Amino acid sequence: MRSVDLGFEHRYLPATDPASPRTLLLLHGTGGGESDLLPLGEAIAPGAARLSPRGKVLERGMPRFFRRIAEGVFDLDDLRFRTHELADFIQAAADVYPLAGRKLIAVGLSNGANIAASLLLLRPEILDGAILLRPMVPLIPDPLPDLSNVPVFIGAGRGDPIVSPAQTAELVELLQRAGAQVSVHWGPGGHGLTIDDVNAARAWLG
């Protein structure tokens, strides 16, 4: 389904399994777009509805969800602004698409995982859970939100040249301090996804 103007270019695909209990919010990596993660969403949660926005920041023509100053160094003012902008889009989308009554689970890859983590930390009312694939610590809010019992899956790559194991451990600790139920899966890959990530995320979702 092509969509109405909610401030973000996006795609919404309704559930093909009416019994599916969730909608996936698909958040692409740097240089991606709103169609990129649709197959990943179907592989992780077959039959689930999918809402997939395109990041509005351009870095040398490549869409992202927020500005960065360098690799792994984020423009925190822009990150905060873009996180609220995305949260408001999701709330507006709930007036147009049948999101109510289904859990909203983010599936974010790299830059998309970072804005998903930022959504958890700054707008904890938006997501019911998240699958973060190759995330970093986006920011550290003060005070921490209450993420009691929010399930979070982190897919980390043992050979990731961009996200260090220490960075992953710091994110796990931050989310746990906020009360989230965090599961970490260490796969054999680098910063890119492998089938191992897909299988682990699908098994985690159940």
Residue 110 binding ligand MLT, by CB under 6 A: yes
Tell how far CA 188 is from the center of its chain.
21
For residue 200, what are its two tokens? Answer: 């682990």
Of residues 6, 23, 29, 182, which one binds ligand MLT by CB under 6 A? 29
- Write down the residue that tokens 């550290």 correspond to: 140
Residue 202 binding ligand MLT, by CB under 6 A: no
Task: Indicate the angle between helix axes 111-122 and 165-177, nearest 10 degrees.
Answer: 20
Q: How far is the CB of 179 from ligand MLT (least distance, A)?
A: 24
Residue 103 binding ligand MLT, by CB under 6 A: no
**In whole angstroms, what is the distance from residue 72 CA to residue 164 CA?**
11
Indicate the burial class of 135 (C-beta count within 10 angstroms; 0-12, 13-18, 19 or more): buried
Clarify whether 191 is annotated catalytic: yes
Clarify whether 160 is annotated catalytic: yes
**Secondary structure (3-state) at 12:** strand
Q: Are strands 68-70 and 73-74 parallel, antiparallel or unpaired?
A: antiparallel
Question: Given 28, 160, 185, 197, which residue is catalytic?
Answer: 160
Residue 114 binding ligand MLT, by CB under 6 A: yes
Of residues 58, 162, 195, 203, which one binds ligand MLT by CB under 6 A? 162
Binding residue count for ligand MLT, defined by CB under 6 A: 7
List the interface residues with ligand MLT, window 127-156 (CB under 6 A): none
Footprint of ligand MLT (CB under 6 A) = 29-30, 68, 110-111, 114, 162
